[in-house]
Structure 1
Amino acid sequence: MSSPVKPPLNPTAKAFGARVRARRTELGWSQEVAAHACGVHWTYLGQVERGRRSPRVENILRFAAGLKTTPGQLMDGLPVPADRAQ
């Protein structure tokens, strides 16, 4: 029995993951090739692409460098997460 598909963490993580996936496919790379270029595990890359993980700043920089783009291209205009109670 397969487990249900988990939804993205939030709209921001979903949009960021979509940009990472789009850039990877522009380059014609598999997740394994892209993960190696970015210096992360391919399962982590897959989770980010599906919006299931929200990467730290250091990993955003790794993704940008590995995918031959800029952090701005991956981040500019992303939806701002809703405020949480403090």
Structure 2
Amino acid sequence: MRSDLDFALLRSFAAELKSRRTELGISQEQLALRAEVNRTFVGKIETGKNQPTLAVIYRLSEGLECELSELLTSVIKRYRKEVKYLPKAKS
């Protein structure tokens, strides 16, 4: 079972992916073609329903015209903001 932190990281990646894609003005279909994945897969990633592999994340970063490190840095920033507001686990 995934923890709240796992879900928070997945949501952060999904939000960053969608944000960068819309900033570029490209559709899910266009990003999918650039990253050599299925459009529905991109949609499922953007809604947090699919967890991409590192190889797919790399191809998505290429499709978004950014460095992998830049994409992941932005995801981590979003993640850290979100986890500040998660309830603390009971010990």
Category of TM-score, reference length = shorter chain: 0.7 to 0.9
**Percent identity between the two aligned chains:** 32
> How many angstroms does 1:50 deviate by?
0.8
In the alignment, is residue 44 of structure 1 matched against residue 41 of structure 2?
yes
**2:11 paired residue among 2, 10, 14:** 14
> How many angstroms does 1:37 deviate by?
0.9
Q: Structure 2-normalised TM-score?
A: 0.72
- Structure 1 unaligned spans of 5+: 1-8, 81-86
Aligned residues: 73
- Structure 2 unaligned spans of 5+: 1-5, 81-91
Aligned alpha-carbon RMSD (Å): 1.9
Q: Structure 1-normalised TM-score?
A: 0.75
* Residue in 2 that maps onto 1:30: 27
* Residue in 1 that maps onto 2:85: none
User: Which structure carries more helix by proportion?
Assistant: 2
Supply the distance in 2 between the matched residues of 1:22 and 1:28 (Cα, whole angstroms): 10
Displaced runs of 4 or more, over 6 A: none
* Residue in 2 that maps onto 1:70: 67
* Residue in 1 that maps onto 2:57: 60
Counterpart residue type for residue 72 of structure 2: M
